[in-house]
Amino acid sequence: MNINELFNVEGKTAVVTGGSRGIGEMITAGLLANGVKVYITARKIGPLLAKAEELSNKYNGECIALGCDLSTLEGVTSFANQIKEKEEGIDFLINNAGAAWAEPFDTFSEAGWDKVMDLNTKSLFFLSQQMKPLLTKNASLEDPSRIINIGSIDGLNTPAFETFSYSTSKAAVHHLTRHLAHRLVRENILVNAIAPGPYPSNMLGAAVAHDYSEIAKRNPRKRVGTPEDIAGLVIFMCSRAGAYTVGETVTSDGGIVKTSSHNLS
């Protein structure tokens, strides 16, 4: 029952897709700070390598950069093969890489639909499928492996922006999480999702010109998310403390989804 045992993740190996910045970087930092070896991926190899070096030095840990484009099945397979060459087993797969697209309903393009659905939903499924042998290798009844899918509150609430493929892709991620959890729990792989609210990043920053003050003001907690908020939840889910939590989508949004009220009068 000691907190150091309950939340211990030391000595584990994780893959965090899209770990070069934003929420993926926050999760990677939290895992590295607590003794996890972390593989991070992204398309832009320069910033990815620099981030891996920065985080390895900062947390005196092992952060390894593997460049890849996860938007196609070919890219997913090539990435999975790279990991298989380096590791016999992994403990945690954090499916975080994602993209957004906004376009008015009347002109919303096929490109904007396919790009988002391909990366956010399809690749997440096929990467989970291809990483399963590695997750299985380290999985046991006492110490299961974990998949954590990063969804979004936009897959739970109705978004204000015209981001039709994004909200659809994230709702799909939440449901796929339950379906995968059902299939994989018997093999001691626990699947859960996190639905983040506003976290500072390139993705959210692009929508608000990197000024989060209005978003913070409107948030029930009067702020945006921090690395501690998302890393703490991931560590809970990956540790002994989270080993009986299966198929959940947990919001990390300052209360946006669960404290919103409706006035019907």
Ligand X SMILES: NC(=O)c1ccc[n+]([C@@H]2O[C@H](COP(=O)([O-])OP(=O)(O)OC[C@H]3O[C@@H](n4cnc5c(N)ncnc54)[C@H](OP(=O)(O)O)[C@@H]3O)[C@@H](O)[C@H]2O)c1
Catalytic site residues?
166
Contact residue for ligand X among 9, 12, 14, 20 (CB under 6 A) = 20
Residue type, 230: I
43 binds ligand X (CB under 6 A): yes
Window of 28-36, 42-50, 183-191, 256-264 that interacts with ligand X by CB under 6 A: 42-50
Q: From residue 152, give the alpha-carbon distance in Å to each of 80, 193, 204.
A: 25, 9, 12
Least Å from the CB of residue 172 to ligand X = 12
Our CB check for ligand X shows the closer of 144 and 196 to be 196
Window of 39-47, 103-111, 177-185, 240-248 that interacts with ligand X by CB under 6 A: 39-47
122 φ, ψ to 5°?
-65, -50
181 binds ligand X (CB under 6 A): no
Straight-line distance from the first to the last Cα atom of the chain, in angstroms, rounded to the nearest whole number: 49
- Range 105-164, binding ligand X (CB under 6 A): 119, 150, 152
DSSP string of 108-145, one letter each residue: --HHHHHHHHIIIIIHHHHHHHHHHHHHHHT--SSS-E
Check residue 240 and report its DSSP letter.
G
Q: Report residue 22 as tokens.
A: 């934003």
Window of 13-21, 83-91, 127-135, 243-251 that interacts with ligand X by CB under 6 A: 13-21
R_g over Cα of the chain: 18
The answer to whether 127 and 93 are in contact (CB under 8 A) is yes
Contact residue for ligand X among 9, 12, 13, 22 (CB under 6 A) = 22
Least Å from the CB of residue 50 to ligand X = 11
Give the number of residues in contact with ligand X, rule: CB under 6 A.
28
Contact residue for ligand X among 199, 212, 219, 239 (CB under 6 A) = 199
190 φ, ψ to 5°?
-95, 130
SS3 at position 213: helix
Least Å from the CB of residue 212 to ligand X = 9
254 binds ligand X (CB under 6 A): no
Applying CB under 6 A, the residues found at the interface with ligand X are: 18, 20-24, 41-44, 68-71, 96-99, 119, 150, 152, 196, 198-199, 201-204
